[in-house]
Structure 1
Amino acid sequence: MEMHDQIAIGVDVGGSHIVSAAVNLKELRILPGTTFSVKVDNKATKEVVLETWGTAINKTMAHIPDKENVNIGFAIPGPFDYGRGVALYEGENDKYTNMYGVSVPKELTRYLDSENVNFRFLNDATSFGVGVATQGGAKQYPKIIVVTLGTGFGSAFVKDGIPQVNHTEVPKNGCLWDKPFKQGIGDDYFSTRWCIKRYYELSSEKVKGVKEIAQANNDHSQTVFKEFGVNMAEFMIPFLQKFRPELVVLGGNISHASQFFLPSLKSGVLGAGLDIRFEVSLLMEEAAILGSAQLFDAYFWDQVKNDLPNV
């Protein structure tokens, strides 16, 4: 097997920018000098969006030895048809609304500097979870749950490096965001908008994001984070009891404020008699890139290809 067979490009599609990098699949590390980030206007026309995505990928492509046969794995948020690579974003998602029904493999190729490109797709939170599981301390744990807390509430249940999607130990689709909680669903409570809304209810102050709440560091902000942790423990306990992970890894923007909510989250989980480690991931986009590039690792692909969610 030649060296270049071991390289895949991983792409992390975010709401405000896209990051692309080449990954050595044998060593599961990002090749130095191949990471490029480009700002995206996700409200733009599909042509502008695809051209912007292409810009980042082409920069990475220029730095890999084999441009004749390029493998690109995407970490991309839902709703998305992951098997076919078709975007299903509609108005209510407030992102990439002009991409509805766009087949990325068919349409993105026009903007790439290579004729022969293979595409594979994985949910962004799943990709992040898979990437986290391959790096650092998480490698020692066979079963981990990775949760991303930000604009939305993402999750991945990972066993021996493979995301569990349709499995008796995990919730439907391996997702937590859409599962019922209190007056709504998980996503209503474990996202930026809940923190902003709750802080406003308590303080009558409008803030833009969680960072401002953390910086305020007053009675109101402490109440918000304490409630966030208490709620999260209550929500997570049934899933933790079923899957029995050794480790829960937190990522996403809200995880930067973890010192404020982790104590109440941990004590709630401990109170339910569960002994689980919690860690905050410092990897961010790198993890999603490492996870999505692995779609071109033959063993990994074999495990996940029939399990790709269509949500």
Structure 2
Amino acid sequence: MNEKYAIGVDVGGSHISSVLVDVSSGNIITESLSEVKVDNQASANEILDNWAAAIAQTMLFTDREKLIGIGVAMPGPFDYKNGVALLKNVAKYDSLYGMNIGDELKKRLELPAEMPFRYSNDALSFAIGECWGGEASKYKNVVAITLGTGFGSAFLTTGVPVIEGERVPEKGYVYNIPYKNGIADDCFSTRWFVGEYKRRTGKVFAGVKEIADCVNEDEDAKLLFEDFGHNLAIFLLPLLTTFDAECLVVGGNISGAYSLFGNAFQDVLEREKLTVKVVISELMESAAMVGSARLCDKDFWTKMEPLVAKI
């Protein structure tokens, strides 16, 4: 078979990344990685030109006849089935509202009309990538979470997302589940660390890394991470149990501080006698690109296609 590469794309709030993926193995062609900064408040033409520039750079590393499609991890709201941007009044990419992204990029990249463009949200793409190219591939029932600006989640069985049914919350989303005095997103994100540390100490830090750097000499910072780990485990416990999860994948920027909250997290699981393998993402930023590229694999797409209209 000649055609064996797909391009995986990850659209972030201020950049776009793309990479070539061998769809027979899930391996990244490392030298094809391209990243372009994007002003998400710019005109539609400027944004799409920058997106096309990143993808065009990646395309240089394969013959076009070997390219089977382009998969895109796209933030919502978005029509994932039809590839139409629905972002409006969300402080990013408003100028793309109503546009068919694939059609616009095909024109700029001079790709044939029949070239598949397929889409998923960033959390699902991350999870699919981890279950294809990461340690989570060894397990049947996997829960993947991303801890960063927000709280992303996905539930997968044999590498395929589960988005409905009694085993999972609606669409596999946990960020909006009530927790303490708000929702989970308020408690398991960067803004919790910054806000809670300020409440406890009066000190203002820009992000989690700055607080983590103080742990050795700051008892308040140390306790903050321990409380985070304890609370995260308490929140996830019933979700992991109901799904019969064998593996939990943790990604996102905050996962880099797992050594500071992991013991508290594991203590809760052990106390409640829940056995689940906790895996810190090794693919990290690449996972969403790998996962979106997998959407171009025909066999996998037959399982995903019925789901994308529902996410």
The normalised TM-score by structure 1 is 0.93
Q: Trace 1:44-59 onto structure 2 (pairs within 5 A).
A: 44-59=42-57
Alpha carbons of 1:7 and 1:211: their partners in 2 closer, same or farther (altered >3 Å)?
Answer: same
Counterpart CA distance in 2 for 1:181 and 1:108 is 41
- The aligned counterpart of 1:111 is 108
Is the Cα–Cα contact under 8 Å of residues 133 and 290 in structure 2 kept in the other structure?
no
Is the Cα–Cα contact under 8 Å of residues 68 and 115 in structure 1 kept in the other structure?
no
Q: Trace 1:192-207 onto structure 2 (pairs within 5 A).
A: 192-207=190-205
Counterpart CA distance in 1 for 2:64 and 2:81 is 25
Is the Cα–Cα contact under 8 Å of residues 68 and 114 in structure 1 kept in the other structure?
no
- The aligned counterpart of 1:234 is 234
Q: SS of the counterpart of 1:35?
A: strand
- The aligned counterpart of 2:283 is 283
Identity %: 40
Q: How many residue pairs were aligned?
A: 308
Question: Shift in Å at residue 56 of structure 1?
Answer: 0.3
Is the Cα–Cα contact under 8 Å of residues 80 and 88 in structure 1 kept in the other structure?
yes
Counterpart CA distance in 2 for 1:69 and 1:132 is 22
Question: Shift in Å at residue 271 of structure 1?
Answer: 2.0
Counterpart CA distance in 1 for 2:66 and 2:139 is 38
Counterpart CA distance in 1 for 2:223 and 2:48 is 43
Question: Shift in Å at residue 25 of structure 1?
Answer: 0.6
Q: SS of the counterpart of 2:102?
A: helix
Counterpart CA distance in 2 for 1:22 and 1:197 is 39
Task: Say if 2:70 is the partner of 1:94.
Answer: no
Counterpart CA distance in 1 for 2:86 and 2:228 is 30
Counterpart CA distance in 1 for 2:223 and 2:91 is 29
Task: Say if 2:260 is the partner of 1:260.
Answer: yes
Name structure 2 gaps, 5 residues minimum.
Answer: none
Q: SS of the counterpart of 1:9?
A: strand
Question: Shift in Å at residue 110 of structure 1?
Answer: 3.1
Q: SS of the counterpart of 2:87?
A: coil
Question: Shift in Å at residue 68 of structure 1?
Answer: 8.9
Counterpart CA distance in 2 for 1:229 and 1:203 is 19
Matched to 2:175, the amino acid is: W
Alpha carbons of 1:106 and 1:70: their partners in 2 closer, same or farther (altered >3 Å)?
Answer: same
Name structure 1 gaps, 5 residues minimum.
Answer: none
Counterpart CA distance in 1 for 2:67 and 2:275 is 47
- The aligned counterpart of 2:127 is 129
Matched to 1:50, the amino acid is: L
* Partner of residue 71 from structure 2, selected from 70, 73, 76: 73
Is the Cα–Cα contact under 8 Å of residues 67 and 114 in structure 1 kept in the other structure?
no
- The aligned counterpart of 2:152 is 154
* Partner of residue 83 from structure 1, selected from 75, 81, 84: 81
Matched to 2:131, the amino acid is: A
Question: Shift in Å at residue 226 of structure 1?
Answer: 1.6
Counterpart CA distance in 2 for 1:141 and 1:243 is 13
Matched to 1:130, the amino acid is: I
Matched to 1:114, the amino acid is: L
Q: Trace 1:215-230 onto structure 2 (pairs within 5 A).
A: 215-217=213-215, 218-230=218-230
- The aligned counterpart of 2:21 is 23
